[in-house]
Amino acid sequence: MTDAPASSGLKVLVVDDSHTIRRSAEMFLKQGGHTVELADDGFDALSKINDFHPDLVFCDILMPRLDGYQTCAIIKRNPRFARIPVVMLSSRDGVFDKARGRMVGAEDHLTKPFTREQLLLAVRSHGPVVLAPIGEAG
């Protein structure tokens, strides 16, 4: 039997060009027991996804150089990373924005600004299922 409470948390990559959004998401996710890596644009995310191997990616849509749709499409086209759930982040919540996210492979869309509860609910909804070891009732 091991004491490893951190193992119940997921590895989450947050991609957003806003320092405020990145730091808020990081704080909320760490409070939820998750390990967090931050990227400030799509290119940064693509290099970090290779090293960090996240269980879940939150990706802003409107970013310079490589936007969220392009970033998500590249992640989903790579066989090594295609199964990683991607949740798009945007201040726009129109039907078109959500549909375009689905077209590039995103699992969901979270509207900014988000609350701690909304972010952690998205992690529970889209992160991999973590089973407790046999004999440990939750």
List the chain domain ranges.
10-125
The CATH H-level superfamily of 10-125 is Response regulator (3.40.50.2300)
Instruction: Provide the mean pLDDT of the chain.
Output: 89
What is the predicted pLDDT for the residue at 133?
A: 52
Reported confidence tier of residue 32, pLDDT bands at 50, 70, 90: very high
Q: Quick one: average pLDDT of 83-93?
A: 92
Structure tokens at 95: 């039907």
34-57 burial: b if 16+ Cβ within 10 Å, else e = bebbbbbbbebbbebbeebebbbb
Residues 33-55 have a mean pLDDT of 96
Report, as an integer, the average pLDDT of 86-115. 92
Q: Is the pLDDT of residue 6 over 50?
A: no
pTM given for the model: 0.87
- Using N-to-C axis directions, what is the helix angle for 42-52 and 68-77, rounded to 10°? 30
